[in-house]
Every structure is written in C-alpha cells, then in structure tokens.
C-alpha cells in the first residue's frame, strides 16, 4: 500500500526538520516545499492529498496568496490545507474567505497527536466530498 503524500510549505529549515520525522513516523510521505514561489506548481505536479502551510513565509508571496492560488486552480482547489501559525487570531480572520471545510488551523507550538488528529480529520472530510 502506498503512503499518503502530504506537502509541507514552509521556509523555516528548523520547522521542516522537526515536522518531517513526525509525519513520516505516522506513515506519510512528505514533500517539502521550502520555496513558496514554486509551491503551487509543485503541488499541481505531485498531487498531495493535503497541504500543511506555515503562515509566515519569508518570501514576497504570502500564505494567503498561496492559498488563494491553490483555490483558484481546478486541480488543487479541492486539496485540504492545514494552516500552521503561532498567531491563530490573525489566521482565523484571514482564513474566513477560505472557510470551505477544507481549511483548518493549528497553533504553534503544537502537540504531535493534535497534528495527527487534524490531518486525519481533513483527509476524512476530503474523502467524503
């Protein structure tokens, strides 16, 4: 059986180093996307079942731009997104336009069990569409 592919979009190498083993330990295949500018194209090509999106990207592209672009593309509009941020009040306000049931928020720092539960919830809701 093949592993479920998850894409992680973040420009923080320490975050990527920390989250990758946690996801792989739960039997996920992880696609690391450290360059937000090319993330949408990579997601279109790889077709992950879920995207984990760090809200603070150091590039000129914001996470909201990236999320909007994912939602505008027919082949990525259905992919659930888990937004990860230390500032959930800002995220919740910003995520409101994308509230389709396919977007959730995880506050940093987070417990790995909570991360796993949110991933499972989003994957389950995507399967039922």
87-109 pLDDT tens trace: 666 555 555 545 555 888 888 88
Inter-CA distances, 47 with 3, 51, 81, Å: 13, 10, 13
User: Domain limits of the chain?
Assistant: 1-85
Half-sphere exposure of 61 (CA within 13 A, CB side): 19
What pLDDT, in 10s, does the model give residues 57-85? 776 777 888 888 998 899 998 999 998 88
The CATH fold assigned to 1-85 is Rossmann fold (3.40.50)
pTM of the shown model: 0.88
Q: Calculate mean pLDDT across residues 38-45.
A: 95
> DSSP H helical segments within the chain, as ranges?
13-25, 36-46, 63-72, 88-95, 112-127
């Amino acid at each position: 059986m093949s592993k479920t592919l998850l894409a992680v979009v973040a420009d923080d190498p320490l975050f990527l180093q920390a989250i990758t083993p946690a996801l792989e330990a739960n039997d996920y295949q992880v696609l690391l996307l450290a360059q937000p500018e090319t993330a949408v194209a990579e997601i279109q090509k790889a077709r992950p079942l879920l995207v984990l999106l760090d809200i603070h990207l150091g590039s000129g592209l914001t996470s909201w731009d990236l999320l909007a672009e994912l939602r505008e593309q027919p082949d990525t509009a259905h992919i659930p997104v888990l937004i990860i941020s230390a500032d959930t009040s800002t995220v919740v306000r910003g995520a409101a336009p994308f509230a389709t049931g396919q977007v959730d928020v995880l506050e940093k720092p987070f417990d790995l069990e909570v991360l796993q539960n949110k991933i499972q919830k989003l994957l389950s809701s995507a399967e039922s569409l």
